Amino acid sequence: MAHFTIPASPTLRVQRVDTFLGVDLTNDPRQVDLRRSPHAPNMIRDVPGKVRKCMGYERMADLGAPINGAHCLRAGAERWLLHAGDALYDADTGALLYRGLADAPSSAWQLGDCLYIQDGAALLRFDGQEVLPAADCAYVPVLTIGKSPEGGGQSYEALNLIGPAFTELFGGTAGAVDYQLSLAPLDEPGADGTPTVQVWVMDGEGVWQAQTGFSVDYENGVVSFAAAPGASPIAGEDNVKITARRTVPGYADRIGLCRTGALFGVGGVPDRLFVGGHPTYRSRDWYSGRGDGAYWPDTGYSEVGGAASAIMGYAILNGRLACYKDGAEPARSVVLRSGELEDGEPAFPVYATLEGPGAVSRRTCGSLENEPLCLTPLGVYALTTSDVTGERYSQNRSFYLDGALLAEPGLQAAHACVFHDMYWLCVNDKAYILDGLQSTVTDRAKPYSTRQYAGFLRLGLPARCMWVRDGRLWFGSEAGAVYRFYDDPTALASYADDGAAIQAVWQTPDLSGESFHRGKSVRYFAVRLASAVATGARVRAMTHGLWRTVLADHSSARYLSFGQVVFSKFTFSTDATTRTLKAHLALRRLDKVRFELENAELHEPFGLMDLAVEYTEQGRLKGQ
């Protein structure tokens, strides 16, 4: 009697993904972790482990010239300024405040009640009322005190680089009429006759009185009185005060032509402005007076690292000032300085120098998770507290973005902004985003780094500069438009870029099953979406190198909300919980399969919670 053995049914296997960690634009799709996507434009973290379509932006203004910066003075009520082209405007009223800036990206820092704006051509000051070149309101230092009419005296303050004026105090004598200043030649009066030398003498009551009875030898720096001022009426105090001007060509440009800066001071207190990035003095930076961006002592400078490498930017790390250099000297890519008092004077000695990749852009420095980040030729690198006592820094944080990021042309023009635990690096109408709330311990991909941030890619973003205002993210374009991102993820209107639909995609890596060499039959696909008033998905599968649509459902995940009724997408369902979209498939004799989920509809959110694929494996693969 014949006996027949019925073959066992192939085991049903399930490939499930319930955690989404952003994109992997570096590895081959066959090697990408299932939690990441090799192609996911315009998707962003919703809550850790889940993703949704990026919210869009709305146009707020159009100034008709490239937006070079947005700056805020916080002294009482906030005052926001917009730098467009060569002009500075009040961001709220549109009033023109100043014209004559460089048409280039600008930066600003607040010291005291004034905002200091740097555009690479001059330093400006905004006091809440008007904008002026800082040189026009430069502090006048007291150069020496206790001078005799013949000279000498005690040095008191350093010259101001951005202002030619200086003051000297003399102790007069009974018969002296000639008073020798420390500097010569002096500036002569201008064509309008405005004097460049002013003189005061203390009267018997100890009050300074302006004088007119004197002459000036501008060539030799001598002030001659018609009658001797005499000795001081107060023993031990100076009684002659002379203010003069001596312009040194190029002094003011040493500050005005700098292109990067930071606030730092003694003990790490942010009460001085440091500037660097001068096109000629590449490795030199300068620091202002304490709390005064209109005073730049001519002795207040440092040579940072080697002369061959340029200063690119600054960061604060563990109470120290980190200065990023370019890659000309890899052994000194980052210079760390401390702030101390030496004999009562501020000093900023070098604490350590770190070896590593140099910075490529002056506008990519920003802190995420208390880690200073900067774009280098090898990716976005972080400085950590362990680097303070180390010899090099090697903390790459952008491995999963580097495959596309480092191929971008013009990285020198990239700029960055930190917003809601995310580091947005913008270049070529794209934003490469690092998520500070999601990081993974580094595997063999980057063995010298301790961890990597999850990354995302935002397209269609014409950002020339980016800033945060009122808890929302803003940006300005090359064409002169000012945009603001929406901030309500539940509002349908949030999902449009200046009125245009946003195409959001999440593509899986290649799914090869448990045994890559066995044939796969895919039977079922399911995805759990976050429900919304209007949402849905189109799902495609790639088999044998060709894409085919296997599911298109733009109704099942909707629910009715009378606050956001869309009649063209009306539903009677009131179930606002997550929904599962599913498709029965008959995809056979596959070595692998890849799925792509897409929502490109205007004013539709799109949130992914989980996805699952059911398949069987049976028999070895045969020739195609």
Q: Are 245 and 187 in contact (CB under 8 A)?
A: yes
Is the bond leading into 185 cis (omega within 30 degrees of zero)?
yes
Report DSSP letters for 491-523, one per residue. -GGGS-BTTB---EEEE---B--S-TTEEEEEE
> Residue 448 corresponds to which tokens in the numbers above?
């010298």
> Residue 484 corresponds to which tokens in the numbers above?
């603001």
Per-residue pLDDT for 587 more than 60? Answer: yes
What is the architecture of the domain spanning 12-20+29-34+515-620? Sandwich (2.60)
Higher-pLDDT residue of 104 and 236 is 104
- Tens digit of each residue's pLDDT (9 = 90 or more) over 165-176: 999 999 999 999
The pLDDT assigned to 573 comes to 56
Per-residue pLDDT for 198 more than 80? Answer: yes
The pLDDT assigned to 572 comes to 46
Q: Are 348 and 272 in contact (CB under 8 A)?
A: no
Nearest to 42 by CA among 609, 590, 607: 607
- 226 DSSP assignment: S
Beta strand extents in 156-213 (DSSP E only): 165-170, 178-180, 198-202, 208-210
The pLDDT assigned to 571 comes to 56
- Tens digit of each residue's pLDDT (9 = 90 or more) over 64-99: 999 999 999 998 889 999 999 999 999 999 999 999
Token pair 């949130």 in the structure block, residue: 607
Higher-pLDDT residue of 151 and 564 is 151
- Tens digit of each residue's pLDDT (9 = 90 or more) over 267-276: 999 999 999 9
- 3.30.70, 3.40.50, 2.60.40, 2.40.10: CATH of 60-133: 2.40.10
Asked which of 329-338, 449-458, 564-573 is least confident by mean pLDDT, the reply is 564-573
The pLDDT assigned to 568 comes to 54
Neighbours of 209 (CB within 10 A): 10
- Tens digit of each residue's pLDDT (9 = 90 or more) over 385-403: 776 666 677 789 999 999 9
Higher-pLDDT residue of 332 and 167 is 167
The pLDDT assigned to 606 comes to 97
Question: ∠ CA 596-600-601 to the nearest 5 degrees?
Answer: 140
The pLDDT assigned to 518 comes to 83
Per-residue pLDDT for 8 more than 60? Answer: no
Work out the average pLDDT over 112-138.
Answer: 96
Provide the residue ranges of all domains of the chain, joining segments of one domain with +.
12-20+29-34+515-620, 60-133, 142-245, 253-355
Per-residue pLDDT for 562 more than 70? Answer: no
The pLDDT assigned to 177 comes to 97
The pLDDT assigned to 332 comes to 83
The pLDDT assigned to 447 comes to 64
- 3.40.1350, 3.40.50, 2.40.10, 2.60.40: CATH of 142-245: 2.60.40
- Tens digit of each residue's pLDDT (9 = 90 or more) over 470-504: 999 999 999 999 999 999 999 999 999 999 999 99
Say if residue 430 is exposed, middle or buried (CB neighbours under 10 Å; 0-12, 13-18, 19+).
buried
3-state SS track over 409-478: CCHHHCEEEEECCEEEEEECCEEEEEEEEEEEECCCCCCCCCEEEEEEEECCCCCCEEEEECCEEEEECC
Q: Give CA separation, 244 vs 183, 185, 297, 357, 516, in Å.
A: 9, 10, 17, 48, 84
Report DSSP letters for 55-84, one per residue. P-EEEEEE-SS-EEEEEEEEESEEEEEEEE
The pLDDT assigned to 567 comes to 44
Work out the average pLDDT over 171-200.
Answer: 94
Per-residue pLDDT for 443 more than 60? Answer: no
The pLDDT assigned to 564 comes to 60
Say if residue 489 is exposed, middle or buried (CB neighbours under 10 Å; 0-12, 13-18, 19+).
middle
